[in-house]
Structure 1
Amino acid sequence: MNANSQPIKLFLVVAFSCTSLLVSLTPVLAKPTQNRSDAKTTVAQATTFNQPPIPLGPPPGGRVRGGAKRGPVGTLAACPPTKPDLTALVPFTEEDNSVINVWAQTTVERPSWFFYVPYTKDLPYTVEFVLQDRDSNEIYKNAIALPDKPGVIRVSLPTTAPALAVNKQYRWFFTINCDKQKNSPPTFVEGVIQRVELNPATVKELQTPELLKRYALYGQKGIWYEALMTLAELRQKNPQDAALQAEWRNLLGSIRLNDIATEPLLLETPSSAK
Structure 2
Amino acid sequence: MKLAGVIPVILLCLVSYSPQVQPQVAQPVKNKNANTQNRLEKLNFPRSGAPVGRRQGGARRNGCPDLKQPVTALVPGEGTVNEAISFLSLTVSEYPTFWVYLPDLPTNLRSGEFVFQDERGKNIYKTPLKLPDRSGIIGITLPQNPQYALKQDNKYQWYFKVYCGNPENASDYYYVKAWVQKVALTPNLENQLKAAKPKEYPVYAVNQIWQDAVTNLADMRRTNSSSSTLAQDWTDLLKAVGLEEFATAPIVGRYGMER
Normalising by the smaller structure, the TM-score range is 0.7 to 0.9
Shift in CA distance, 244/41, structure 1 to aligned 2, threshold 3 Å: farther
RMSD (Å), alpha carbons: 2.8
User: Deviation per CA, 1:61-100, whole angstroms, max 9, x where unpaired?
Assistant: 000001335x3xxxx232x2223211100011349x9822
TM-aligned CA distance change 1:230 to 1:49, over 3 Å: farther
Question: Alpha carbons of 1:178 and 1:271: their partners in 2 closer, same or farther (altered >3 Å)?
Answer: farther
Q: Any stretches of 5+ residues in structure 2 without a counterpart?
A: 14-34
Give the match's secondary structure for 1:208.
helix
Give the CA deviation at 1:136.
Answer: 1.4
Give the alignment partner of residue 69 of structure 2, picking from 72, 81, 84: 84
Percent identity of paired positions between Structure 1 and Structure 2: 30
Secondary structure of 2:52 counterpart: coil
Runs of 4 or more consecutive aligned structure 1 residues displaced over 6 Å after TM superposition: none
**Which structure's CA Rg is the greater one?**
1
How far did 1:119 drift? 4.8
Verify the 8 A CA contact 1:107 1:197 in the aligned structure 2: yes
Counterparts in 2 of 1:159 and 1:210: CA distance versus 1, 3 Å: closer
More helix by share: 1
- Provide the secondary structure at the position in 1 that maps to 2:153: coil
- 1:168 shift after superposition: 0.4
2:219 match: secondary structure: helix
Q: How far did 1:38 drift? A: 5.2
The residue correspondences of 1:210-229 to structure 2 (distance < 5 A) are 210-212=197-199, 214-229=200-215
Question: Per residue, is there more strand in 1 or in 2?
Answer: 2
Query: Aligned pair 1:265/2:235, yes or no?
Result: no
**1:135 alignment partner, SS class:** coil
- The answer to whether the 8 Å contact 2:10/2:202 transfers is no
Unaligned runs of 5+ in 1: 1-32
Q: Which residue of 2 aligns with 1:239?
A: 225
**Amino acid paired to 1:99:** A
Amino acid at match of 2:151: A
**1:219 counterpart letter in structure 2:** A
| TM-fit CA distance, 1:121 | 9.1
Normalising by structure 1, what TM-score?
0.73
Q: 1:184 to 1:220 in 2, by over 3 A?
A: same
2:181 alignment counterpart:
194
- TM-score for both structures, normalised by structure 2: 0.77
- Tell me if 1:109 matches 2:94: yes
The whole-number CA distance in structure 2 between the counterparts of 1:183 and 1:130 is: 13
Q: Is the 8 A contact 1:40 1:244 kept in 2?
A: no
1:68 aligns with 2:38: no
Give distance in 2, aligned partners of 1:77 and 1:66.
14
Aligned residue type for 1:66: G
CA distance in 1, matches of 2:8, 2:87: 35
